[in-house]
Amino acid sequence: MRIGVIGSGALGLYYGALLQRAGHALHFLLRRDFEAISRSGLSVTSPQGDFHLADVQGYKNSSEIGPVDLVLVGLKAYANEHLVELTRPLVAAETTILTLQNGLGNEDLLAGAFGDDSIVGGVAFLCCNRGEPGSVHHLDQGFIRIAEFGKGLSTRVEQLAETFNQAGIPCEACSDLTRVRWEKLVWNIPFNGLCALTDRPTDRLLNCPKTRQLIMEMMQEVVAAANCQGLSELIEGPDFIEQLLHVTVGMGAYCPSMMIDRQQGSPLELAAIYGIPLKRAAEANAAMTRVAMLHALLEATE
């Protein structure tokens, strides 16, 4: 399969490297890593085994890539104003566009430009950071859940999931993209924002009884709002929250992407992770009071 990666950060580089190692033809749109990867290839460190790709196809301009079978979008959602123009040169009649970006609204944007039938959405539960240019460090997790935009389970999504699984990327084909997206928000909303605001990793917040309680209360707000979105099956709040907390404890002193973005002086994905979810919750008459306060504080400190 010919695959183009738009947004070659930690997520795009890691998943793209695994897909290339499995025999697919990968084409990465690169910025800061272009010189290093063109010169020396791409190195991956991982608890599942380190490896190096000596020959990696990298590009500075997406128009140089041309049409592909699959566009894998890992672009930060704060850069979505450029997403359509970056993606367009890669899209032909049979191209599938898979966005693994955070938050809500990404599929809607792509569907508006390329049509609903081209779009698959997904979420990645991945602990991964970029190292020196030309390197990426996989720390933990890596599981992906994908679903059609505006449709139920399809053969295309099942085949795509199998492609990822064969490449060593655990992937589940799902029938309800809205549910998949909101389940990820149950984790993303409290941990990304609170870690960015306090400059403390996840373990520090969970080890403090007051911030642990706040995290749980925010998660409850998100679950309640999610269950007003017409899901095919409601999220079982207490069990799901306990599961997320258990997994997060196992991640140790993890620094979420928004915390790293703030440390590096990059913009935050506030619209996708907070603004749009808050709007959709309000439209369903589901108040997320604590989430709204966190959003306001993040905006005020940008």
**pLDDT tens digit at each of 302 positions of the chain:** 999 999 999 999 999 999 999 999 999 999 999 999 999 999 999 999 999 999 999 999 999 999 999 999 999 999 999 999 999 999 999 999 999 999 999 999 999 999 999 999 999 999 898 999 999 999 988 999 999 998 889 999 999 999 999 999 999 999 999 999 999 999 999 999 999 999 999 999 999 999 999 999 999 999 999 999 999 999 999 999 999 999 999 999 999 999 999 999 999 999 999 999 999 999 999 999 999 999 999 999 99
Counting runs of H as helices and runs of E as strands, what totals does the chain give?
A: 13, 10
Query: Which residues, 6+ apart, have CB-to-CB distance to 193 below 8 Å?
Result: 258, 273, 274, 294, 295, 298
User: Which one is catalytic: 76, 151, 184, 210?
Assistant: 184
25 and 160 share one domain: yes
Specify the pLDDT at position 242. Answer: 97
**Using CA atoms, how far apart are residues 29 and 62, in angstroms rounded to an integer?**
6
Alpha carbon of 295 to those of 194, 204, 280: distances in Å?
Answer: 10, 21, 15
Domains in the chain: how many in total? 2
236 and 294 share one domain: yes
- At which of 130, 159, 175 does a domain end? 175
Let me know if 60 is a catalytic residue: no
**Using CA atoms, how far apart are residues 83 and 256, in angstroms rounded to an integer?**
23
Specify the pLDDT at position 171. Answer: 98
**pTM for the full predicted model:** 0.94
| DSSP assignments along 130-182, one per residue | E-STTEEEEEEEEEEEEEESSS---HHHHHHHHHHHHTT--EEE-S-HHHHHH
86 and 212 share one domain: no
The residue range of the domain holding 275 is 179-300
- At which of 175, 206, 224 does a domain end? 175
